[in-house]
Amino acid sequence: VHGGAVSIGHEKPFQSLLHRKNENVELKRELVRTAACLVNDGDTIIVDSGSTANEFILTLCSGFRALSVITHSMTVFEALHNAPGIRIILIGGEYLKSEECFFVSIALECLHQLHATTSFIFPSAISLKYGVADYSSELIPIQKKYLEISNHTVILADSSKFEKTALMKICSTDNSHIYVTDSMLDDNIYKLYRENGIRVYRNKEEIHNESKSIANIG
């Protein structure tokens, strides 16, 4: 890659949602607080499913007077359904119990009719060479559709997921998206991503320092 070399990332082992909910919790809470500054009142946002999505939505439950949230995650829905000022659009379909969310063609048909300001995607792995990836064949089409129907995409992943691979590719790792992680991301990986034009942020300060280039993402 431009600026140096990275080792071929090994595949990040697939873990159940129950296991992932208890994995790297503090890192997830750190990165979702950073990502929350990319949400503005009046936005229509998409929130993907997964353990980091659950932490993210808890951060958004307060502090917004007007926000619309599109999701296929039952956990996200349950966290938001009583939150004042938040409109929820739950994408239905067959229920995937292991991931606590809906999937299949019914969900995709619903998404054809929708448009969002920003999609927030929570993959299992990110690699400069192999892209943004996950494991569920049922959910990959929904994640891809989210990217299609939103103006902007924010990829959220804790530092343990960088330079790892997973079974199925969601999209390439390129400069069309914003990547938010935590402060534990290795400096060498951070430098290489930045040198390859990837906008990766480890804290709010890094976002604020470039606020002119990503201002008003919503």
- pLDDT at position 218: 46
pLDDT tier for residue 63 given thresholds of 50, 70 and 90: confident
Residue 8 has pLDDT above 60, yes or no: no
pLDDT at 7: 55
pLDDT of residue 146: 98
Neighbour order of strands in the sheet with 116-121: 86-90, 67-71, 44-47, 116-121, 150-156, 178-180, 199-201
pLDDT at 16: 57
pLDDT digit string, tens, across residues 14-62: 665 665 665 779 999 999 999 999 999 999 999 999 989 999 999 998 7
Segment 119-157, tens digit of pLDDT: 999 999 999 999 999 999 999 999 999 999 999 999 999
CA distances in angstroms from 136 to 16, 78, 101, 153, listed in the order given: 11, 22, 12, 20
Q: How far apart are CA 137 and CA 149, in angstroms?
A: 20
**Token pair listed for 156:** 């959220």
142: helix, coil or strand?
helix
Residue whose C-alpha is closest to residue 80's, from 103, 96, 101, 58: 58
Whole-model pTM: value is 0.88
Is 216 a residue whose pLDDT tops 60?
no
Q: List pLDDT tens digits, range 151-175.
A: 999 999 999 999 999 999 999 998 9
User: Residues 85-103: pLDDT tens digits?
Assistant: 899 999 999 999 999 999 9
The crossing angle, in degrees rounded to 10, of helices 51-60 and 25-35 is 50
Quick check: 206 pLDDT over 70? Answer: yes
Q: Provide the edge-to-edge strand list for the sheet that holds 125-127.
A: 125-127, 131-134, 168-171
